[in-house]
Chain A
Amino acid sequence: MTPPGVLVAGAVVCYLAGALAAFLSNDRWGRALGALGAGSGALVSLGLGIAALTTGSVFTAVLGVLPLTGLALRIDGLSAFFLIVVALVGVASAVFGYGYSASYQGRYSLRRLGALFNLLLLTLTLQVMADNVLTFLLLWEAMSLVAYLLVLTEHDELATIRAANWYIAITHVGFAALLAMFFLLSAGDPAAAFDSLRANAPALAHRNMIFLLALFGFSAKAGLIPLHIWLPMAHPVAPSHVSALMSGVVIKMGVYGFCRVVLDLLGGGPAWWGGLVLALGVASAVFGVLYALMEHDLKRLLAYHSVENIGIIFIGIGAGLMFQSYGLMTLAVLGFVAGLYHTINHACFKGLLFLGAGSVLHATRTRNMEEMGGLIKRMPRTALAFLIGAASISALPPLNGFASEWLVFQTLLGGSQIPQPSVALIMPIAVALLALTGGLAMACFVKAFGITFLAIPRSRAAEEAHESPASMQVGMGILALACVGLGLIPFFVVPVLGRALAGLGRLPSGAATLTVSFPLSIPGTFGSMSSPLLAAGLLLLLGLVPLALWLIGANRRIRIGDTWGCGRIGQTPRMQYTATAFAEPLRRVFAELYRPTQDLSIDFHPESKYFVQSIEYQTEIHPWFEKLLYQPLIRLFRQIADRVRWIQAGWLGLYLTYMLVGLVALLALAWWAP
């Protein structure tokens, strides 16, 4: 077997061994063996992805394990890139999960958790290599089911069951769309390999329908508006290392699928395809961050930010599609590169943030930010890791979030080259909304980090918090290093991504068009930027300032005192700002979009209405997608189901009669229409 084949086999063996070992052994060993299997499998596939991406070779294999077509695997540039994404977050989650799942001991089955975790990583790894329709769909469904079972880990909580139900429902609706899409794409031939699909694509009849079904199906997995509703429900209730994997990797499968089908197999399309994707991306970004701002459940906040960042990824991809339709190939490649760069960056920093949230959850047993505080002194390493994640997601230079957002901005700026002014005007609006999103994301993470980690603990649990075990710190450290590293090397990543996209869907060979110089300056775009020089400059200045202070002989004395509170006597945690209060100005500004409900009840003293006994104020924000979109649909289906229910009378004889009638009808049909 060729070296890539060996690595693939190695990864599969590691994962299967981990799953089996976890399942067959007892809880303690199950935890360790599961983590070992997952970690080693992820490392092997990381090596595979890097090797495939750097050598540029394409590896194919067809295994006869599946009937009809066999399990067809193919690693090209796109697959290799997504393998790296899966593996990087997989390794960190596996290491983290070893320490984290200890808290489930005695309550839930650790063997099941370890086994399912390995299976999820296995399906994810094979998914990005799928090379024919049946393989793709089977692995997709397997991945969704395993993820569903993992979300159900804490199955004693009612919220978990409800979240899992929503997740499986929307995933299957998306899957139905994907089935229909592949049916149209392969013109009814289920045994079609992707190669033949690629060849037949230009001549296909229903390209627009295929595109819309692909968008629907893949955005259900990715969490794009309006199919995002399961994300803020399912990701918080899953175990934290599973949340990290889901938010970091599983939703990226939607991105992978979309790129594979629309870019690779269909080869791009008219401008409105890109415009639609761009619009959905912008809407997801803005609504995601707006709802994230109002959350005070730490993991729900992070889940809404996943919606936002998926929106940003699709902004890049949508812009790329639009430029491709206008023949602006350099900008098209840039758009896709920006989208993919943001994919891996988001996987890293969102994974890091979820692991950090898991660490906090492990220590304080609560996800509610309003009960935390002062954790930076009790959990310094978790706080540092979370700070790096928060700075990355806020797109602060010189970390990785900034590098990819800069690229997305430059792509959108290129929109000025679109010939029609009416179409080109979408770009400045997208730029403005993307900038708004970036600013709001920063505001949200000041809130998230500040309320959770800083100042005084707001509850006993936060007071008694302690630092996480070493495995959890190592897991976070891996991703933190990745965030910093990816931020410092954009001039390296961009050409590599360009090469990965080479040849896909009428895109010219990446290496020729993306000759990128150091600093990062791409021909055809508007600006240049150098992350490492920026980082070096900032560090230099950071060092110069204390030196200058020492030289001028500044007073270096520090005296510890009380927080200034206008001379008040004593300070309680209630005197600090709360998360809800922090976000209140923005809630007021965007009140029309949020439509918060307010409930104010004042109890007066029975003797006189000038004396108030108690005031109760309650405000709630219900995301109106559920109310306007889903509830009517669910009501409609319930009504239809009520009407049709009479068919199932519960009598076995009736069902047998139905089968007899159906059989007779089929025979008659076969007789009359041979």
Chain B
Amino acid sequence: MYAVRNIRLCTKDCLCLYVCPTGATDTETGQIDRSKCISGCRLCVDACPSHAISLVPESYPPQQEKKQTVLAAMRKRSASKSAQEQAFALLEQTAPNEPARRLAKAMRCSCRLMAEDLLRESGYMLPQSENVQTLLKSELENIKDNDFPRDAAKRLLELLKQ
């Protein structure tokens, strides 16, 4: 468990700088230097008056198993939300007036968010999960297209390995 700082909450009280035994919290970007952070130390977490620092785990438990019938139902909804997203995207480009295009854009975003949420709950919540790794491997194996960002997929497999 290493410390991370939420810049949005940080009120620059600097108590993390006073308590950190290694200087990991003192960086120009506001991010805590993970290479110096002592796993599980949490001195900065407890000292921070604005609750801007928390601990992020290094590894996660296996994800909850999903029943096939529920997955099938969820996939239908995500496919349909994704199709609605595309239809709104088309309207966003073709509607004759600004208000209609703005409405289409809002609904396009909304449908995307619903699709994302449905997929997330269909076994793809955690980037480090087995399902995500299996998907990346299968895409690497099956997509022959030269434009497929193979290096990105390979690097992700390296980085997400638990």
The answer to whether A and B come from one shared complex is no
B residues sitting closer than 8 Å to A (CB atoms) are none
A contacts, CB < 8 Å to B: none
